Amino acid sequence: MSYNIMVYNFPMVSGLKVVLGCAIAGFFLSLDTALERERAVIRQAYKSNRFLSPPKRLYPMTRKFLVVALAAALFVAAIIGLVIASDVTWLAQIGQSGMSLAQAQRSVTYEVFFVMIVLLAWVVNLIVSYSKNLKLLFENETNVLERVSTGDLSKLVPVATNDEFGVIAGHTNTMINRLRHRTQLLTALKLAEEVQQNLLPQEPPSLVGLDVSGISKYCDETGGDYYDYLVLPKGSLGVVVADVSEHGVGAALLMTTARALIRQRAAMSGDIARVVSDVNQELYKDVRETGRFMTMFFMEIDVSSKTLRWVRAGHDPAIFYDAGKDKFDELAGEGMALGVDKNIEFQEFSRRGWVAGSVIVAGTDGIREAINVDGEMFGQDRLRQTIQKNVTHSADAIQKAIMNKLSIFQGDTPQQDDMTLVVVKLL
């Protein structure tokens, strides 16, 4: 343009129109190319399924629209201004005849019309190109969310822009990854639940003179309640009911450790007080830094001599229903929870003789402290009434009657603690 102006005296306004027209074309073409590149990045990111965090710097779409609109308006105003300026100069130079004016009017109209058509075509092309990107972003987002709604967490949303779509996609990916982690945890908890349920007795012991039934119902997938039946070296039956402080995975792990310690020690010689004391010493090593503890009721039933022996380690006393006197008693006694003091020596208590049809019920505090919608606890009275009402039935029927009564009492109130119940009917 400078050469033509200097050598051929080419009009500067016409040269500026050419330069500005090329600049405008380059502006719109560069935007279109950038949008096409963005589409390629979006497709590639979707195929690679890479996790990308939300953009650190946000460039809002409103700011982008403002910049593009302002630049386009300035370009349009400049080119129209140059067209009008050159046309006014040209009109001033032509003759005043009607034919000349009509020809000049047509030329000016064609030139302005041409400029507006070209600009409109570029703008429409830009809108169409941007619409393709929006459609692609919407489709990717909705496709991934539809997969998530069906449980498929294999895909992530491509984070290919640094605007609101990038922020939404990044947070969606964060949500999906957390859902993956949660799914893994739930799967692990489900497996832990199956393992823990298999640690509980699968069937009651088959011993002449005894009818036994037990159940554990956890408020989470896993819990800290525990019951077990042990055939002791003397041939008598050992019944263990225990409750680890709190509930959940940590309590379940401690329960598993305690179960192994009790089973191992009970298989050796010694009375049940010695067994509980030795288990306490070993358990103390594992829990002394955690503040956890475990309560336990360990009972030995010797059918041949009709003798009950038990040790209370901070646990609720077992309920003894005397069928001969039609009255309730407690298998009580002193004893501290396991894991609190390693040097404590537990004491054994005993009761000799029973009438056939008598019932022993040992459980955890989750039964007695269960609440209903009014905040009222189930308590000992309801438990005893249910036992007395069903005392002529089998141990399994008594256990089911108690749990059914408890379920009706709770109604829709969520279970807040683990529940374990063992019923022994003395035949």
Residue 296 φ then ψ, to 5°: -155, 145
Please check whether residue 146 lies inside any domain of the structure.
yes
Q: Which is more confidently placed, 50 or 249?
A: 249
Give yes or no: residues 274 and 417 share one domain: yes
Read off the pLDDT of each residue in 287-309 and give the average, rounded to a whole number: 93
Give yes or no: residues 261 and 112 share one domain: no
What three-state secondary structure class fits 409? helix
Please check whether residue 195 lies inside any domain of the structure.
no
Picking from 156, 183, 210, the residue at the C-terminal end of a domain is 183
pLDDT value at 64 more than 70: yes
Residue 360 φ then ψ, to 5°: -115, 130
Bridge partner residues of 300 (DSSP): 238, 309
Q: How many Å apart are CA 367 and CA 379, to the nearest integer?
A: 8
CATH number for position 384: 3.60.40.10
Tens digits of residue pLDDT in 135-181: 888 888 888 889 888 888 888 887 878 888 888 888 888 888 888 88
Q: How many Å apart are CA 334 and CA 243, to the nearest integer?
A: 17
Q: Which is more confidently placed, 302 or 194?
A: 302
pLDDT, residue 173, reads 84
Please check whether residue 360 lies inside any domain of the structure.
yes
71 near 27, Cβ under 8 Å? yes
Give yes or no: residues 347 and 406 share one domain: yes
212 near 227, Cβ under 8 Å? no
Give yes or no: residues 418 and 337 share one domain: yes
Give yes or no: residues 267 and 152 share one domain: no
DSSP label at residue 365:
H
Cα dihedral 180, 183, 188, 194 in deg (nearest 10): -160
Give yes or no: residues 71 and 12 share one domain: yes
Domain residue limits at 278: 202-426
Domain count, the chain: 2
Give yes or no: residues 48 and 165 share one domain: yes
Question: Percentage of the chain surpassing pLDDT 70?
Answer: 93
124 near 27, Cβ under 8 Å? no
Please check whether residue 279 lies inside any domain of the structure.
yes
Q: Which is more confidently placed, 301 or 55?
A: 301
Tens digits of residue pLDDT in 264-290: 999 998 899 999 999 999 999 988 888
pLDDT, residue 236, reads 94
pLDDT, residue 408, reads 95
Give yes or no: residues 105 and 223 share one domain: no
Give yes or no: residues 209 and 165 share one domain: no
Give yes or no: residues 301 and 402 share one domain: yes
Please check whether residue 122 lies inside any domain of the structure.
yes
Give yes or no: residues 158 and 280 share one domain: no
388 near 398, Cβ under 8 Å? no
Minimal CA–CA distance to 205: which of 23, 363, 16, 425? 425
Under the banding of pLDDT at 50, 70 and 90, the label for residue 376 is: very high
What is the pTM for the complete model shown?
0.66
Please check whether residue 14 lies inside any domain of the structure.
yes
Read off the pLDDT of each residue in 385-393 and give the average, rounded to a whole number: 95
- Give the position of tokens 């010694």: 270
pLDDT, residue 401, reads 97
Which phi-psi region, left, alpha or beta, contains residue 52 (left: φ > 0; alpha: ψ -120 to 50)? beta
pLDDT value at 104 more than 70: no
Give yes or no: residues 212 and 90 share one domain: no
Under the banding of pLDDT at 50, 70 and 90, the label for residue 368 is: very high
